[in-house]
Amino acid sequence: MALPDAFIAKYQDLLGNESGPFFAALKGPVDKGFRINPLKAKQKPSSLSLDEPIPWSKQGYFGQVSGKSIEHTTGLVYSQEPSAQFVAEVVAAKPGEKVLDLAAAPGGKSTQLAGQMMGQGLLWTNEIFFGRAKVLSENIERFGVQNAIVSSADSKDLAKLLPDFFDRVLLDTPCSGEGMFRKDPDAISYWSEDYPRECAERSEEILANAVQLVKPGGILVYSTCTFAPEEDEQTIASLLERYPDFELLAIDKVAGSGITDGRPEWAGNQEELKKTARLWPQDLPGEGHFVAKLQKKADAEKSTKTVKEQKADHLSADEEKLLQDFLKETVPGLSVDLNRLVRFGDRVFLLPKDCPAFGKVKILRAGLCLGSFKKKRFEPDHALALAIQPDQAAQVFAVDEPSEWAAYIHGEALTTKADLQKGFVLMKAGGNGVGWAKFVNGQLKNFYPKGLRH
């Protein structure tokens, strides 16, 4: 890995005697990590070791996940770089809260927040670029998240729609990516001497919207995957100067972990910047990150705008009967409030409780997709299979046998002598739902999505 000369000179000057170990670490091996999903029924992976927990991540472990494994396919695990797992731990979302992940793709931090919330409250997860938002939505689905809104919107539009609304807001801001040079050498090609300053200016624009989204008394967490002081301590110093309603909170650095204080000397010697956190690759097994945690003062002036609740869609009598019959026959253990349903074409979503109105924001996922109306029938969505516990389904069929697993995820029908009734069957692997099949005349017709088959 050939680092730019200007980058080397910059960090030799900033780090002095520490620069040697720093540059050596950037040439070292990349550390791999994953998290266990607390939303799943069975949480013991068969193909992964849990012998090396990540000290700063409650559900995190060192190790490499196969994208074709049962654990990955069922959403039991999420592959995530170890240092990145610290950010959501700092956010520390609670069940029942309203939480926003403002620049969320591909979804590592959002799924971690979802695990903290355990299906209670509202998780709004957003990505401005629609292509990346689709990946975010897919990961939210695979993780089995029932209480998430996935949007693709500019932060300024969300600030107008939802002022002073969220208990916690995370801005993992787009940055120069210096902390990912070791993991993603292509990031080096984007770097220039002026790039960190350009990114810092963009972050300050997004922060101007983020601060409006936090309710008085609420928490704002700002993070980057860069070493650049312009995007880290200097951005936070500027934020504190521009927004006196915010104060910096100390971050628990997890004793013995290698996580260190921020560097006040790189931002006007403001001592309170030591409350921020830095993760350096020479100090711990992970890539580079910076995290700051701020609180909006409880007596901060509030917006006069009233945030309205999203209106539910009313089903016709025939549609309501089709849906209720389906729920009774297929997922009798799932409680569905018919007053929280919205439709996107033929697809029906169960909104999170107290969901705010969407306005003109582009929505990709509005809570849990239950399924779709077809001709005189209702078919379950793949998201439903991943979100429910197997004991909530009326009929379950395990595909743990390697040959049956391979056949199912390849899209093939399965022949079985199992004692099943005609209708939809939840297919499970490793104790967790993986998809649907329809049992007819001794055969399980495959409903695994074509785009996911392999």
Question: Residue 165 is part of a domain; what is its CATH number?
Answer: 3.40.50.150
pLDDT over threshold 80, residue 437: yes
Over its C-alpha atoms, the chain yields an Rg (Å, rounded) of 23
Cross-strand partners of 51: none
- Reported as a pLDDT band with limits 50, 70 and 90, residue 185 is confident
Query: Phi, psi (5° rounding) for residue 206?
Result: -70, -40
Q: For residue range 91-120, list pLDDT tens digits in order.
A: 999 999 999 999 999 999 999 999 999 999
Do 122 and 228 lie in one domain? The reply is: yes
- Reported as a pLDDT band with limits 50, 70 and 90, residue 191 is very high
Share of the chain above pLDDT 90, in %: 97
Q: Domain of residue 210: give its range.
A: 5-296
- How many residues does this entry show for the chain? 454
Do 38 and 150 lie in one domain? The reply is: yes
Is 294 in contact with 262 (CB distance < 8 Å)? no
Q: Is residue 345 part of a domain?
A: no
Has 127 been labeled as part of a binding site?
A: yes
Do 59 and 128 lie in one domain? The reply is: yes
Task: Decide if 355 is catalytic.
Answer: no
Identify which of 312, 117, 302 has the alpha carbon closest to the alpha carbon of residue 217.
302
**Gap between the Cα atoms of 104 and 87, Å rounded:** 12
Has 179 been labeled as part of a binding site?
A: no
Do 144 and 255 lie in one domain? The reply is: yes
From 175, 225, 355, 369, active-site residue: 225
Q: Is residue 271 part of a domain?
A: yes
Do 254 and 326 lie in one domain? The reply is: no
Q: How many CA atoms lie within 13 A of 103 on its CB side?
A: 18
Indicate the pTM of the whole model: 0.97
Q: What's the token pair of residue 406?
A: 């391979």
Do 290 and 378 lie in one domain? The reply is: no
Name the residue type at position 442. G
What count of other Cβ atoms lies within 10 Å of the Cβ of residue 242? 12
**Gap between the Cα atoms of 266 and 203, Å rounded:** 18
Has 237 been labeled as part of a binding site?
A: no
Q: Is residue 70 part of a domain?
A: yes
Has 108 been labeled as part of a binding site?
A: yes
pLDDT over threshold 80, residue 186: yes
Q: For residue range 332-371, list pLDDT tens digits in order.
A: 999 999 999 999 999 999 999 999 999 999 999 999 999 9
Q: Are strands 33-36 and 98-101 parallel, antiparallel or unpaired?
A: unpaired
Q: Is residue 229 part of a domain?
A: yes
Has 33 been labeled as part of a binding site?
A: no
Query: Phi, psi (5° rounding) for residue 353?
Result: -60, 145
Q: How many domains are there within the chain?
A: 2
Do 232 and 138 lie in one domain? The reply is: yes
Has 313 been labeled as part of a binding site?
A: no
Has 109 been labeled as part of a binding site?
A: yes
Do 83 and 216 lie in one domain? The reply is: yes
Q: Is residue 19 part of a domain?
A: yes
Has 333 been labeled as part of a binding site?
A: no
- Reported as a pLDDT band with limits 50, 70 and 90, residue 24 is very high
**Residue 224 — left, alpha, or beta (φ > 0 → left; ψ -120 to 50 → alpha)?**
beta
Q: What's the token pair of residue 65?
A: 């996940």
| CB proximity list for 2: less than 8 A, separation 6 or greater | 188
3-state SS class at 285: coil
Q: For residue range 45-99, list pLDDT tens digits in order.
A: 999 999 999 999 999 999 999 999 999 999 999 999 999 999 999 999 999 999 9
